[in-house]
């Protein structure tokens, strides 16, 4: 029986980012800087693997301290009560040149099925003898599905914060020793 390898991100070269519309005319970008991700499997056969992720919501940053505090508050993520976002893959499938990663995403106290589209970006042995592979994944969620309901109506009939959230994950995974 083959022992599956464990992979974790090189956090200096990995990111979890999001984009949301603001006032119907621009986009706000942000990221989560504190996260753990584990992939158990083989980059030569990702479809046989399993991924788990934990994101510490307090690490959210959009480049604007007041906005970040608001996002941590009860109006949005309510970090004091729900400090983590969790993802657990249920299956990973080859899809054309890429992959489809299905799983359970939990934000606050709501768990929903989500699918990411992913791409293996390459694999190497680094100059220090460690095996690495790059992987990117994208999905779009409606924040209201996870209880992130706060908003404000604008005079022109629009809303302050868009409901659609584009999520992109870029990982440089390193084989755990």
Q: Is the pTM of this model over 0.75?
A: yes
Domain assignment present for 42: yes
**Cβ pair 143, 150 in contact under 8 A:** no
Domain assignment present for 59: yes
Domain assignment present for 170: yes
Q: Residue 1 has what pLDDT?
A: 47
Q: Residue 105 has what pLDDT?
A: 98
Task: Provide the domain limits for residue 73.
Answer: 6-175
Q: Residue 177 has what pLDDT?
A: 72
Domain assignment present for 133: yes
Counted domains in the chain: 1
Q: Residue 133 has what pLDDT?
A: 96
Closest by CA to 149, choosing from 159, 138, 139, 158, is 159
Q: What is the residue-level pLDDT of the chain in tens, covering all 177 positions?
A: 457 899 999 999 999 999 998 877 789 999 999 999 999 999 988 999 999 999 999 999 999 999 999 999 999 999 999 999 999 999 999 999 999 999 999 999 999 999 999 999 999 999 999 999 999 999 999 999 999 888 888 788 777 788 889 999 999 999 997
Q: In angstroms, rounded to a whole number, what is the distance separating the alpha carbons of residues 114 and 102?
A: 6
Handedness of CA 104, 174, 40, 45 (dihedral sign): positive
**Cβ pair 16, 9 in contact under 8 A:** no
Q: In angstroms, rounded to a whole number, what is the distance separating the alpha carbons of residues 76 and 20?
A: 13
DSSP secondary structure code for residue 5 in this structure: P
Domain assignment present for 163: yes
Domain assignment present for 138: yes
Q: CATH number of the domain that 100 lies in?
A: 2.40.128.110
Q: In angstroms, rounded to a whole number, what is the distance separating the alpha carbons of residues 140 and 7?
A: 25
Q: Residue 2 has what pLDDT?
A: 59
Closest by CA to 151, choosing from 35, 50, 22, is 22
Domain assignment present for 1: no
Q: Residue 149 has what pLDDT?
A: 83
Q: Residue 85 has what pLDDT?
A: 98
């Amino acid at each position: 029986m083959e022992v599956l390898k464990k992979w974790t991100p090189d956090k200096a070269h990995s990111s979890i980012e999001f984009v949301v519309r603001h006032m119907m005319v621009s986009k706000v970008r942000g990221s989560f800087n504190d996260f753990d991700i584990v992939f158990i499997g083989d980059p030569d056969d990702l479809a046989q693997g399993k991924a788990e992720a934990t994101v510490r919501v307090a690490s959210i940053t959009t480049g604007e301290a007041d906005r970040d505090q608001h996002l941590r508050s009860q109006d949005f993520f309510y970090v004091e009560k729900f400090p983590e976002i969790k993802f657990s893959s249920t299956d990973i499938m080859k899809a054309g040149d890429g992959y489809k990663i299905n799983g359970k995403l939990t934000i606050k106290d709501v768990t929903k099925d989500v699918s990411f589209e992913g791409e293996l970006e390459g694999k190497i042995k680094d100059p220090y003898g460690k095996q690495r592979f790059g992987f990117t994944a994208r999905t779009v969620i409606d924040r209201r599905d996870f209880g992130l309901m706060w908003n404000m109506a604008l005079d022109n009939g629009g809303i302050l914060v868009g409901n659609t959230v584009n999520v992109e994950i870029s990982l440089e995974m390193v084989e755990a020793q």
